Structure 1
């Protein structure tokens, strides 16, 4: 199996190479330390699996995921990162990632995640909220996206493509953006200098307008609409 690795940290580059070295069926065809190099190599290298970090020195691994979906639509894409917040998880999965692993995982877990991907599963680290993946799967199975579905629609395109504009207020969007970064409602209230009751009221309004029931679903819907 041909692996395409996008990772800027030398430690993790060596860690991935060490994991692969114990699996003779694996072969690294590209080891890229930044986004520019990855986008260039993607045009010429064929691969079955991409392992990509989200925090790159010259951009986001999300862009590499989107490009990989264009050049190698059948390849699996495993995110391996330190970012566990819902916004990054949702963005990565919506861009085309098929698995999401935190770097604190053991070599055995890394190897198992790769095997799960090749078996057609979507391995997600236990610390990642699983309802986010469920929301993505439910939405992408029914949503009528534009031909370039690898790109997140803008609010205008979302409305034109059938997504209803929820008309969130500026304050509600502000609350949603902080929630997407992983803050609790109590922390959001403290940050915005609001009462917890007011923040909870904003959260209820957001859920109602987006027609969702969980924070993960709210973040995903807002990503589709270009609100966060």
Structure 2
């Protein structure tokens, strides 16, 4: 059953954000009609979400956005790491939205716990900190989203549906910086620095690097296929090769490993 909230404020209300003409941003209560078809998850089934944040006001705002979308079922909320761990262990859900700083613990711990007990679920980090290292650590643990709270107004349902559709959701400015890191020194520079040898199997082809950059931007396989004029099957083959070469099991881990090793 969906949570009942009376006229919840939008994230734009909380942070006082306005559009370029000085008017408040419109609350997005009917996004199903404007989002692309690939953000549908599984036909006939709502996406089940748990929300863990120690700030009750921010939690209420995000909950309001989630419950405004008919495709999302907010099945539980928690205000600390301890209650969050209980919620993750007891609830059936598809996506966990979790703050990194919870007072009595870390969101990193909850991501690790979630991957042990609900390995199929996706994790989206929310944080006030626009920090590359924290984002990379979250991706290494298995998160598929990293959103900066004051930059993701009105779009939390979109983030949920995006990660459930095989994509990633990253605050644009942070995604750009991560891509800059990915595109900085080449694999040859890493080899020279002692991070690998030329004979290692994890060196990516040019096309694999291009595909991985699109993955880092949060694009799904159909979107990447359309961008490069390829079939979805070919894109998925590239992604499987990337996994094999980087010895990872998820898109987020592939982006994190490539960034860490400076392979692209």
Question: Which TM-score applies when normalising by structure 1?
Answer: 0.59
Mapped contact 2:111–2:141 kept (Cα < 8 A): yes
In the alignment, which of 133, 136, 142 is matched to residue 245 of structure 2? Answer: 142
Q: Give the SS at the match of 2:96.
A: strand
Structure 1 equivalent of residue 178 of structure 2: 130
Does residue 100 of the first structure (1) align with residue 203 of the second (2)? no
Q: Structure 1 140/81 Cα, relative in aligned 2: closer, same or farther at 3 Å?
A: farther
Structure 2 equivalent of residue 25 of structure 1: 71
User: Which stretch shifts more, 70-79 or 133-142?
Assistant: 133-142
Structure 2 equivalent of residue 174 of structure 1: none
Find the aligned partners of 2:86 and 2:48 in 1 and give their Cα distance: 17
User: Which stretch shifts more, 133-142 or 39-48?
Assistant: 133-142
Structure 2 equivalent of residue 65 of structure 1: 111
In the TM superposition, what is the alpha-carbon distance from 1:144 to its structure 2 partner? 4.5
In the TM superposition, what is the alpha-carbon distance from 1:141 to its structure 2 partner? 4.8
Number of residue pairs matched by the alignment? 155
User: Which stretch shifts more, 99-108 or 49-58?
Assistant: 99-108
In the TM superposition, what is the alpha-carbon distance from 1:124 to its structure 2 partner? 1.0
Q: Structure 1 84/143 Cα, relative in aligned 2: closer, same or farther at 3 Å?
A: same
Question: Which TM-score applies when normalising by structure 2?
Answer: 0.51
Mapped contact 1:124–1:130 kept (Cα < 8 A): no
Structure 2 equivalent of residue 4 of structure 1: 50
User: Which stretch shifts more, 130-139 or 111-120?
Assistant: 130-139
| Runs of at least 5 residues in structure 1 that lack an aligned partner in the other structure | 150-215, 223-228
In the alignment, which of 39, 42, 51 is matched to residue 88 of structure 2? Answer: 42
In the TM superposition, what is the alpha-carbon distance from 1:218 to its structure 2 partner? 9.5
Map 1:168-179 to 2 at 5 A.
none
Mapped contact 1:3–1:27 kept (Cα < 8 A): yes
Structure 2 equivalent of residue 118 of structure 1: 164
Q: Which runs of 4+ in 1 moved over 4 A?
A: 132-141, 216-219
Find the aligned partners of 2:82 and 2:130 in 1 and give their Cα distance: 24
In the TM superposition, what is the alpha-carbon distance from 1:27 to its structure 2 partner? 1.8
Mapped contact 1:53–1:79 kept (Cα < 8 A): yes
Find the aligned partners of 2:50 and 2:66 in 1 and give their Cα distance: 12
